[in-house]
Amino acid sequence: MQVKCNVLDRQFQMYQSEYEEAALRVLRSGWYVLGNEVQQFEEAFVKYTGRKYCVGLNSGLDALILSVRALGIGKGDEVIVQANTYIATVLGITENAATPVFVEPDEYYNMDADKIEQAITDRTRAIMVTHLYGQASDMTRIAAIAQRYRLELIEDCAQSHGACFDGRMTGTFGISGCFSFYPTKNLGAFGDAGAIVTDDGAFADKIRMMRNYGSKVKYHNEIEGVNSRLDEMQAALLRVKLSHLRELNDERKVLAGRYSQGIRNPKIILPKLRDGAESIYHQYVVRCVDRDALQKALDQEGIQTQIHYPIPPHLAACYRHLGHKKGDYPITESYAETVLSLPIYTGMTFAEQDHVISQINAWGKEESR
């Protein structure tokens, strides 16, 4: 049996008629950028997240970059970020000429709140927290630290659409909740797309101007901006998927629960869930000291897996100028060498999952005899 790490067409097939109706509506409208569909999606996402404002953008990376820029953070400023995040989080900082200050993750793969304060200097302007793999970070503590030191709090919610901490949705703790709608996300578009949510009206207005060349009125450019507009087609398709997001997230929780109950191999470390935190299991990530051997064995049985992420940002070639070296962040580096993402996606069958579970449980038994 072949089991891919991610399959995108099954969720399309589940709601095919709705997607096709939305796509045709846009095509027939004759209006394809920043129109009624974008406005309606923004209103729907505001209602879903519980924030006051939403601004649709071209990507999650643009959401991060523009959020940092709108806050006036730039050269000479520092932003605290977790060391094991995807590089896009860090690019949101460095694209504004600010300096990322890395903090190690905790046992839940998110920013370790115990290590934040020691990273704060007189140049620190913000904390950028990532809700990695779909689990909400320790937001009560992190938000309290940001408030105590008068730091801006930016949330990278690219993997946490709908995840909550103490009943409060990710993306609602800081001034800006930054979302990616890349096709593989729990709330994924059919191309690139993103958004920010906020309760700050002035901040939202600035992001709106920045996404459209710095203008409110065409050809009247008040600030330097970019082209980062959510198009009508993606907005219409996202509205369809958003209407089903709770059931789609629930499906992943069921699949994650079956993994957690079914995998019984002492060589495999299963993911943990923090008290008060919810995970929508964008990824189901295990750890294994012999990760590469496990991945190879699963591949031979037709099971595709991925590594999120094999090279930590502080060791990326593009950030050599920051002066970091191997050993600077040992927990992060250990995770990079041991994490493995198992297949989990909308429409995954129990038979497919049982094949993954049985092969993991069988792995290594011959060697131990």
CATH 3.90.1150.10 residue ranges in the chain? 245-364
Q: Cβ-count burial of 119 within 10 angstroms (0-12 exposed, 13-18 middle, 19+ buried)?
A: middle
**Is 251 in a helix, a strand, or coil?**
helix
Q: Are strands 215-217 and 220-221 parallel, antiparallel or unpaired?
A: antiparallel
Per-residue confidence in pLDDT tens, the chain, 369 aa: 999 999 999 999 999 999 999 999 999 999 999 999 999 999 999 999 999 999 999 999 999 999 999 999 999 999 999 999 999 999 999 999 999 999 999 999 999 999 999 999 999 999 999 999 999 999 999 999 999 999 999 999 999 999 999 999 999 999 999 999 999 999 999 999 999 999 999 999 999 999 999 999 999 999 999 999 999 999 999 999 999 999 999 999 999 999 999 999 999 999 999 999 999 999 999 999 999 999 999 999 999 999 999 999 999 999 999 999 999 999 999 999 999 999 999 999 999 999 999 999 999 876 554
10 contact partners, CB below 8 Å, separation of at least 6: 345, 346, 347, 348
How distant, in Å, are the alpha carbons of 19, 65, 66, 272 from that of 196? Answer: 24, 11, 9, 28
Q: What is the pLDDT of residue 246?
A: 97
In sequence order, the 6+-apart residues with CB closer than 8 A to the CB of 303 are 3, 343, 355, 356, 359
Assigned fold of 9-103+110-242: Aspartate Aminotransferase; domain 2 (3.40.640)
- Give the position of tokens 């590089």: 87
Location of structure tokens 């219409």:
236
3-class DSSP state for residue 215?
A: strand
- Positive or negative, the Cα torsion across 51, 129, 196, 189? negative
Is 0.95 surpassed by the pTM of this model?
yes
Fold (CATH) for 245-364: Aspartate Aminotransferase, domain 1 (3.90.1150)
> CA dist 87 to 81, 219, 318, Å?
11, 34, 10
Supply 224's token pair. 């330097």
* CATH 3.40.640.10 residue window(s) in the chain: 9-103+110-242
Distance in angstroms (rounded) separating the CA atoms of residues 362 and 264? 9
Query: Which residues, 6+ apart, have CB-to-CB distance to 241 below 8 Å?
Result: 11, 15, 187, 188, 189, 248
The Cβ of residue 254 has, within 10 Å, a number of other Cβ atoms equal to 12
Would you state the pLDDT for residue 366? 62
DSSP secondary structure code for residue 306 in this structure: B
> Do 271 and 281 meet the contact criterion of CB atoms below 8 Å apart?
no
d(CA 240, CA 235): 9
Strand-pairing partners, residue 341, are 285, 306
State the pLDDT at residue 369: 45
